[in-house]
Amino acid sequence: MHHDHGHNLLENRLLLSVVLTALIFLVELGGGFWTRSLALLSDSGHVLTDAAALGLAWFAARQGKKLPTARYTYGFSRLEVIAAFVNGLALIFISLWIIVEAGQRFFAPVPVKGLGMFIVAVAGLFVNLLIGLVLKKHADENMNVKGVFLHVAGDALSSLGVVAAGLLALRWRWYVADPLISLLIIKSAWGLVRDSFRILMESAPQSLLLPKVVSALESLPDVANVHDLHVWNISGRIPAVSMHVLLQPGGADYQGVLERCQRLLARDFGIFHVTIQLETACLMQDGRGCAEGRRPDCWEG
């Protein structure tokens, strides 16, 4: 019962955060056109991705109550990656317009309404800090929420940059600060697309060195070699692995080897979704042994 209460509290806080973020997006978008501030328009794009990330976190919290189905065996975890990819592409298209406009404003600065820009930016900063405060406790307990919390914290810094640009425009009429801050804010769009594209392509997590994984596994008793190894992310925070493990000849303990491999992957590499094929011999279609292919020294990059 206590677990259900805590889960419902998290859902409610995430939903409140979605509403607040959507509201500040509309305020910053309208404020950007009203004050003619590129920095505000750029920041509103990031606030929109915040709203999407929070919405997905809320959806994931709800779906977390459900068991995987026969069709969606991993649940809906990858939905957040697809949404991140689409959001990133949208941000890049928006960024292209901002880059062109910013380039023109460097040579012919456009006066912005510094006071209005400052007020809207402070409101955005306040909402980001409020959401961060609401989610702080859950970020320590839930990896999904932690990712969103870090995203919101990063955007709070962006809002702080817009506040600074508003002050510069208001106090010293230094309007070049507006396009400069807008360019600094949009730089993360490419990173969002790149990271989500890597997950959709099922590339190995960047933090994981596959030769190191193979070496650790091959140091276990009764393991002759590890090959046909694949590591990928189901979502941004859920790694998975499949591999063939060739056993030493002479009556190896199958169950013992399997358990040792699983414990090592979980303890040393944080991988809990594991599929292992144990073998005493393996031949590929062309007659080569599996151990001759898919080895660490064959990988490029």
DSSP symbols for 52-107: HHHHHHHHHHHHTTSPPPSS-TTTTTTHHHHHHHHHHHHHHHHHHHHHHHHHHHHH
pLDDT tens-place string over residues 227-285: 889 998 877 667 899 999 999 887 678 899 999 999 999 999 999 999 999 988 765 54
**Residue 294: which region, alpha, beta or left (left: phi > 0; alpha: psi -120 to 50)?**
left
- The answer to whether 256 and 222 have CB atoms below 8 angstroms apart is yes
d(CA 209, CA 296) in angstroms, rounded, equals: 10
pLDDT tens-place string over residues 18-29: 899 899 899 989
What is the reported pLDDT for 268?
93
CA neighbor of 116 nearest in space, from 25, 20, 36? 36
- The answer to whether 39 and 117 have CB atoms below 8 angstroms apart is yes
Question: What's the predicted TM-score (pTM) here?
Answer: 0.60
CB-side neighbour CA atoms (13 Å) of 160: 8
d(CA 245, CA 261) in angstroms, rounded, equals: 9
* pLDDT bracket for residue 80 (50, 70, 90): low
- The answer to whether 221 and 255 have CB atoms below 8 angstroms apart is no
Q: Is the pLDDT of residue 37 over 50?
A: yes
What is the reported pLDDT for 215?
93
Domains 2-200 and 210-298 fall in the same CATH topology:
no
Report which DSSP code applies to 109.
P
What's the rounded mean pLDDT across residues 64-93? 70
Q: Is the pLDDT of residue 39 over 90?
A: no
Q: How far is CA 188 from CA 49, 90, 172, 173, 244, in A?
A: 11, 12, 29, 28, 38
178: part of which helix (H) or strand (E)?
A: helix 177-185
Instruction: Supply angle C-alpha 229, 232, 267, rounded to 5.
Output: 80
Q: Delimit the domains of the chain by residue range.
A: 2-200, 210-298
**Mean pLDDT score of the chain:** 77
> What whole-number percentage of the chain has pLDDT above 90?
17
- The answer to whether 185 and 46 have CB atoms below 8 angstroms apart is yes
223: helix, coil or strand?
strand
What is the reported pLDDT for 147?
62
Q: What fold characterizes domain 2-200?
A: Alpha-lytic protease prodomain-like (1.20.1510)
Q: What's the CATH architecture for 210-298?
A: 2-Layer Sandwich (3.30)
Q: Is the pLDDT of residue 191 over 80?
A: no
